[in-house]
Every structure is written in structure tokens, then in C-alpha cells.
Amino acid sequence: MPRTPVILVARTLPAPCEDRLARDFIVHRPAGDCPHPWPELLAIAEGCEGMLVSVSEKLDRATIETLPASIRVIATMSVGFDHIDLAAAKARGLIVTNTPDVLTEATADLTLLLLLGAARRAKEAMALIAEDRWGAWSPTGMLGVDIGRRRMGILGLGRIGAAVARRARAFGMDIHYHNRRRAEARVEDGATWHDTLDSLLAVSDVLVLNAASTPETRGIINARALALLPEGAILVNSARGDLVDDEAVIEALISGRLLAAGLDVFRGEPKLDPRYRDLPNVFALPHIGSATIETRVDMGMFAIDNLASVLSGGGKPLTPVT
């Protein structure tokens, strides 16, 4: 009879994923669904062969070096893996896997929600209802802007960026993008490629960030970059909070250099610069880009597939990142 793999699961997954975990694995886990300190998780991981984690678990070099020798694979339920020190994992001979492609459509939908919320002053309008301040209709009351009359600049025309572009075209937007290399024609789909970020910024009435967090991209949207945008541009970020310089963005929102911002991600989240909460022209959400039932089930199942492939299926992961 096949041996049942033993794994650590750091967080509670959607019900279909939990059912599969209970059926196919011996699961060790902490009590309660919240981020747990690593000393607690490490004690539970003793004797486990794999770990199923998420972005709430930060695996730095010191943590990875103290993992039990029995651990062979770390499966993160996320597309990004900047919360894991890959060099340290590789040095330990650990396999690290992620869950690419499953959250593209949900995140692209959310990106358009951010754009529409920012462009149509949704935060201010919702406050009128919530605070019982809705008065008589006025021809000049609560005026937002038509996104269909604006040019969208996408920083990072990958899978999510391309899905955002498809949706934006339905609103009549003209699509521009910057990648280090020009995208294939089928991905580009008529969008205009800019070989420099500066060139993209100059035409971006709406700037959408879809880039990964890397040493080159962290803080890339700073005061200099914002100054290159057309006056009254809208900033949308559903990628990573550390792509932007908060001080510069907040200053641009206060001065009117930026008309508005739609933000789902923040540097240091769940903590964020409190000034974002007070700005009427910031439509903010708490990092819910992948938060649909269907997408989270798909992400969980993909992470489980990776664990099963390594621990029960011959040792080869489906989506290795180390």
C-alpha cells in the first residue's frame, strides 16, 4: 500500500482543498487560521516532507536553514515567491513551487474595478451614502472621468497585463505598454510597445502596474516618474506595493498631479501609510486580487498538485521555481 506523505499546512484552505488534503496526506498544522511565528511552525514541521505555505509565511535564509532535514518541497499558494529566499532554498536542496496562471482573470477583473473606482470617485460617492450626506442632484456634482477617452499604459504586459488590456479595449481605451522586450504579436494584440519606461509614462493617462517586485522595479514609480505622466493621470496598482514610492505618490495625489489612484497592494501590508486612508481620491482595497472562490480553490489545488507530484509522483514538481 502506498505511503501517505506527511506535510505541514500553514493556513486554512477553501473546503474542497481541505477535503483533498485530508484524503491524500497526513496534515500537521497550527491551531487557528492566522500567520503563526516560525518557531511554532518549525516545531510542527518536524518529520514533515513538504510544506504548503502562502505569502503570509516569510521564509528568509535563517528560517530555511533551520527547517527539519525531512523537508523536501515548499509549495507556495501564490504566483509570487519573493517571500521565499530561493538561494537559501536551493542551497538546502529544497524544491520550491508556485501557482502561476490561475489568478490572471480574477486579478485583471480587480484591476478594472480599481480603475473604475478611482476614475468615478467611488470612495467619495460611497461616503455620501454611508454618512447620509447625499443631497440634491447637481449638474456638476461628483464628476469623474470617462476611462474610454484615456490612454492606458501598462508596465508589464505579461499574462495579467494582457488580460487587463483585453478588458480595457472593451471600454475603448488605447493600450500602450513597456516590457524589456517587445511582446509577441498575439500578446501585444495591437498595443503600442515603448522601449523605455519614460516613453510609456509620457502617454499614460492611466498607468497600470503589473510588474514583478525585483531590485530593478522596487520604487520605480517615484517623483521623477510621476512628473513624466500627463497632468491628472490615474495610477492603478494590483501588482506589488513596493513598486511605488509612497511619499511621492501621496504628494502627487495631494497636489493634483495624480487625479486619483486605485490600489490593492501596499508596501509593508497589512500595515500601510495611514495617509492613504484619508485621501478622498484613493480607492483602496486590501489585496483581494485573487479573492474569488473559484480562484482560491484553483490556487490551493495547484499547490497540492505540486506537493503530490514531488512526494507521490516521482519527485518532479509541476511548476518548479528552484
Within 8 A by CB and 6+ apart from 120, the residues are 144, 145
Per the omega criterion (within 30 degrees of 0), is the bond before 270 cis? yes
In what helix (H) or strand (E) does residue 28 lie, and over which residues does it extend? strand 26-28
Rounded-to-integer distance, Cα 142 and Cα 124, Å: 8
Phi/psi of residue 17, each to 5°? -70, -40
Phi/psi of residue 136, each to 5°? -70, 150
Q: Which residues of 168-188 are buried (b: 16+ CB within 10 A; e: fewer)?
A: bbebebbbbbbbeeebeeebb
Rounded-to-integer distance, Cα 72 and Cα 78, Å: 19
C-alpha cell at 26: 497526513
Give the dihedral sign, CA 263/205/232/141: negative
Do 57 and 283 meet the contact criterion of CB atoms below 8 Å apart? no
Exposed / middle / buried, residue 309 (Cβ in 10 Å: 0-12, 13-18, 19+): buried
Closest CA relative to residue 10, chosen from 82, 83, 62, 69: 83
Per the annotation, the verdict on 169 as an active-site residue is no
Neighbours of 194 (CB within 10 A): 21
Per the annotation, the verdict on 240 as an active-site residue is yes
Strand order in the sheet with 151-155: 192-193, 174-178, 151-155, 206-209, 233-237, 258-263, 282-284
Per the annotation, the verdict on 269 as an active-site residue is yes
**Set 121, 150, 240, 257: catalytic member:** 240
Exposed / middle / buried, residue 100 (Cβ in 10 Å: 0-12, 13-18, 19+): middle
**Set 11, 257, 287, 296: catalytic member:** 287
**Set 20, 169, 269, 275: catalytic member:** 269
Closest CA relative to residue 164, chosen from 108, 100, 102: 108
Active site members: 240, 269, 287
